[in-house]
């Protein structure tokens, strides 16, 4: 019984910590939701499901697979003061429950990728978080069953600031 109570306590703590991080990301997005100097994109799970079922001639099977497995996408971007907002996001976001996938610094530009693995299956990624700061700023959060090889190909399909950094994932995997 004691082990059961400890396990329940750990589960509640884990869920609470996970919700706190999701809440921190949501709060950061919400903070700038109505600020017209930011571009904000939210794509719901239903939209991904609908798009993956469309019969679109120029959509390859990998793209359909990625879209089918995504449960949400949020993008927050700004064309200037990128370093300021990058630092602010780094101070607010708790990335301890994420694993650093890649960090790139080139001049005054910083790019960070974090992943959150599925606790039940370490080969499955539940969230990909991308933070970009420099001249521009972008915070991108993908949620779902994520295949890094396939999601890196989305960058050339979506004309959204910050998405071009997904190509770096493909380059990293080819070097591994």
Distance CA 135, CA 137 (A): 7
pLDDT digits (tens, 9 = 90+) for 41-73: 999 988 888 887 777 777 777 777 788 888 999
Percentages helix, strand, coil for the chain, rounded to the nearest 5? 45, 30, 20
Among all chains, which residue has been given the structure tokens 């879209």? Answer: 67
Mean pLDDT of 82-108: 91
Question: What was the pLDDT predicted at 16?
Answer: 33
Question: What was the pLDDT predicted at 59?
Answer: 73
On whether the CB atoms of residues 41 and 74 are closer than 8 A, the answer is yes
Q: Is the pLDDT of residue 40 over 70?
A: yes
pLDDT digits (tens, 9 = 90+) for 12-37: 333 333 333 456 788 899 999 999 99
Distance CA 38, CA 24 (A): 18
Among all chains, which residue has been given the structure tokens 């429950």? Answer: 97
Residue 158 per-residue DSSP state: -
Q: What ranges do the domains of the chain cover?
A: 23-175
């Amino acid at each position: 019984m004691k082990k059961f109570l400890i396990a329940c306590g750990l589960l509640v703590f884990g869920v609470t910590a996970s919700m706190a991080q999701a809440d921190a990301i949501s709060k950061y997005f919400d903070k700038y939701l109505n600020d017209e100097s930011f571009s904000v994109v939210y794509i719901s799970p239903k939209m991904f499901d609908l798009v993956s079922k469309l019969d679109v001639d120029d959509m390859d099977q990998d793209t359909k697979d990625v879209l089918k497995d995504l449960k949400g996408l949020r993008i927050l971007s700004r064309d200037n003061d990128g370093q300021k907002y990058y630092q602010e996001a780094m101070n607010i976001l708790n990335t301890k429950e994420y694993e650093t996938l890649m960090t790139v610094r080139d001049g005054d530009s910083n790019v960070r990728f974090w992943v959150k693995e599925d606790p039940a299956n370490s080969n499955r990624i539940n969230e990909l978080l991308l933070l970009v700061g420099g001249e521009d700023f972008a915070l991108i959060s993908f949620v779902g069953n994520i295949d890094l090889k396939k999601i890196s190909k989305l960058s050339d399909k979506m004309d959204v600031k910050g998405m071009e950094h997904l190509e770096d994932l493909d380059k990293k995997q080819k070097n591994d």
